[in-house]
Amino acid sequence: MLTLKFDLVSQLLLGQRIPVNLILGKLAAGMTYEEVMTEYEITREDILAVLDYAAKTLSSEEVKALG
């Protein structure tokens, strides 16, 4: 099991101070894990922790109808 390494207030990877949304955006834009790892000097485990954090955050979101 991955240990999440985040500053939950600012959603940054600890140690690197890289915004989680930056890593997600790079992956969504088509960068490979290897490209992101090289550019930001992070590990595969860091990327998996970012994805896990995003999945858990989204799964706890509540959607309410407007109107």
3-state secondary structure (DSSP) of residue 11: coil
User: Domain range for residue 17?
Assistant: 6-55
Question: In whole angstroms, what is the distance from residue 5 CA to residue 50 CA?
Answer: 9
Whether 66 is covered by a domain: the verdict is: no
Question: In whole angstroms, what is the distance from residue 32 CA to residue 27 CA?
Answer: 6
Whole-angstrom CA distances from 4 to 7, 24, 57 are: 9, 15, 12
Which tokens go with 31? 């960068």
Whether 1 is covered by a domain: the verdict is: no
Whether 10 is covered by a domain: the verdict is: yes
Number of domains observed in the structure of the chain: 1
Q: Are 54 and 48 in contact (CB under 8 A)?
A: no
Tens digits of residue pLDDT in 11-49: 666 667 788 889 999 999 999 999 999 999 999 998 998
Between residues 14 and 3, which one has the greater pLDDT? 14
- pLDDT value of residue 19: 85
- pLDDT value of residue 15: 67
Whether the predicted pLDDT of 55 surpasses 70: yes
Whether 39 is covered by a domain: the verdict is: yes
